[in-house]
Amino acid sequence: MMKKNMALLLQYDGSRYDGWQRQGNTANTIQGKLEDVLERMTGRYQEVHGSGRTDAGVHAMGQVANVHLETEMGDGEIRDYLNRYLPEDILVLKAKEVPQRFHSRLQAREKTYTYWVETGQRCPVFQRKYITVLGECLDAAAMEEAASCLKGTHDFTSFCTAQGKKKSPVRTIKEIRIVPHGSQLEFVFLGDGFLYNMVRILAGTLIEVGQGKRTPGSVAGTMEARNRQEAGYTAPAKGLFLARVSYDPEIF
C-alpha cells in the first residue's frame, strides 16, 4: 500500500510536556504522544516531523507536522482517531493528505510566534500557565523603537542559545508588533524562521528595554556583537505560543 503523507495542524498546551521533540525513551513530548497514537493506529512506528521544536512549556495554537502513514483511513478519520486517543491538552485541528514531497520543517516559509506578558502585579487565574507576570509597566515607545532595529535580515547570534550544530545564524524578521490588551501585552514575531530560544531572547530583550534596563539604541550594537551575553534574558517558556506556520502554497 502506498504511504500517504499526512499534514497535521496541531494545538497544544505545553505546560506538562518536555517540549516537542521525542527524547530517547521518554514519550512525555508532543512528538512522542503523536507517534504513540499513530503507531497504535497503523501498527508501526513512523516519525512525525514538526515544523520546528517547541521547548518544554511552550504552547502552540497552530503547529504543523507531517508523517508518512500506511493507512486507508481518510483525513477526517485520522484526525478523529488521533483526537480520541491523544490527551486533552493536544488537539489535531486538521489532518490533510499532502503531496509526497511536502516536509513541514524544510518547506516552512514563515512562522508567527506570540509572547504574552502581564504588566500588572498579579497573575490572572485563567491564563496562569500562558503568561509571564512582570508587575511593572513597560515603555511602549522604547520597545517599538528597539523592535524596529530587530526587524530585517540579520545575524541573530546574540539572540540565540548556542547549539553544537553549524547552522546559519542569519534570519529575517518581517514584523514585530506589540499589541496591548488591557494590562497585558502580546508581542507578535513574524519571520522566516527562528533560532534556538530566539523568540524568548528577543522578548526578554524587548522587556528589558521596556523596563529601562537597556536603551532602544543599544539593540543594534547587541546585534553586531554576535554574543549571547550582550542580549537580554530568556523570557519564560510559558508565555510563548507558536501561532502559525505558513507554506507556499498554503496547506491549511
Residues labelled as active-site residues = 55
Using only C-alpha atoms, the chain has a radius of gyration, in whole angstroms, of 19
**Residues 160, 225 contacting (CB under 8 angstroms):** no
Residue 212, Ramachandran bin (φ over 0: left; ψ between -120 and 50: alpha; else beta): left
Question: Min. distance of Cβ 60 from its own copies in angstroms?
Answer: 9
Least CB distance from residue 197 to its own copies, whole Å? 23
Alpha-carbon distance of 88 to 52, in angstroms, equals 22
Phi/psi for 232 (5° steps) reads -75, -175
Provide, rounded to whole angstroms, the least separation between the CB of residue 124 and its own copies: 7
Q: Which residues bind its own copies (CB under 8 A)?
A: 11-13, 59, 80, 83, 88-91, 93, 121-126, 128, 130
| Whether the Cβ atoms of residue 240 and residue 199 lie closer than 8 Å to each other | yes
Which residue number, 22 or 59, has a Cβ lying nearer to its own copies? 59
Q: Which is nearer to its own copies, 27 or 93 (CB)?
A: 93
Task: Considering the complex, state which of residue 14 and residue 216 has its C-beta at the smaller distance from its own copies.
Answer: 14
- Shortest Å, Cβ 122 to its own copies: 6
Nearest to 158 by CA among 168, 169, 147, 149: 169
Q: What is the DSSP string of 78-135?
A: HHHHHHHHS-TTEEEEEEEEE-TT--TTTT--EEEEEEEEE-SSS--GGGTTS-EE--
Tell me whether residue 42 or residue 83 sits nearer to its own copies (CB atom): 83
Q: Which region holds residue 147: left if phi is over 0, alpha if psi is between -120 and 50, else beta?
A: alpha
Closest CA relative to residue 228, chosen from 185, 252, 195, 251:
195
State the Cα angle at 190 between 170 and 93, rounded to 5°: 120
Q: Are 113 and 245 in contact (CB under 8 A)?
A: no
In angstroms, what is the minimal distance from the CB of 11 to its own copies? 5
**Closer CB to its own copies, residue 30 or residue 231?**
30
